[in-house]
Structure 1
């Protein structure tokens, strides 16, 4: 690996995070901020441990995931980098995203 691994979020993943924050903040703004901090921390850990999450090739080849509270962070490795693909509620049908 040359240099430090980088973390990217797809446009859809960034939209997911905004929607999650808007939904949770309607009831509890502090909880929304804390949840996004936990998601961000989990994503940041992937920089040093990219294979931390189990593979989900059954959904899409190369896809991996991490669970954060009630949410699933879907990501993939691209060369030496980590791309966050989606962040969705755990009750979502992951096969139909």
Structure 2
């Protein structure tokens, strides 16, 4: 994804998003689109308020924050510009 949107996706995060969409789309393409949009909407919200997520020192010592969308954990670097989504 482009930094023109205020965020960049790590290549593995982009792959995760594609795999989530493909998995759901097997049963319901409209549901897959809704889930994908919900995830992207959450990321766009993080661009405006990057520190709204929570820290997980049990997962990483890096300065990352996390947020959950449905059952999916989004990991991102809140102090990077553009926002860097790593997973």
Shorter-chain TM band = 0.7 to 0.9
SS of residue in 1 equivalent to 2:18:
helix
Q: Report the counterpart of residue 48 of structure 1 in structure 2.
A: 48
**Rg: which structure is higher?**
1
Q: Could you list the runs of 4 or more consecutive aligned residues of structure 1 that deviate by over 6 angstroms after TM superposition?
A: none
Normalized per residue, the structure richer in strand is 1
Q: 1:27 to 1:58 in 2, by over 3 A?
A: same
Structure 2, gaps ≥5 residues long:
1-5
- Cα offset, 1:78, TM superposition: 4.0
Q: Is the 8 A contact 2:50 2:79 kept in 1?
A: no
TM-score w.r.t. the length of structure 1 is 0.77
Normalized per residue, the structure richer in helix is 2
TM-score w.r.t. the length of structure 2 is 0.85
Structure 1, gaps ≥5 residues long:
1-5, 87-97
Note the aligned Cα RMSD (angstroms). 1.6
Q: Report the counterpart of residue 11 of structure 1 in structure 2.
A: 11
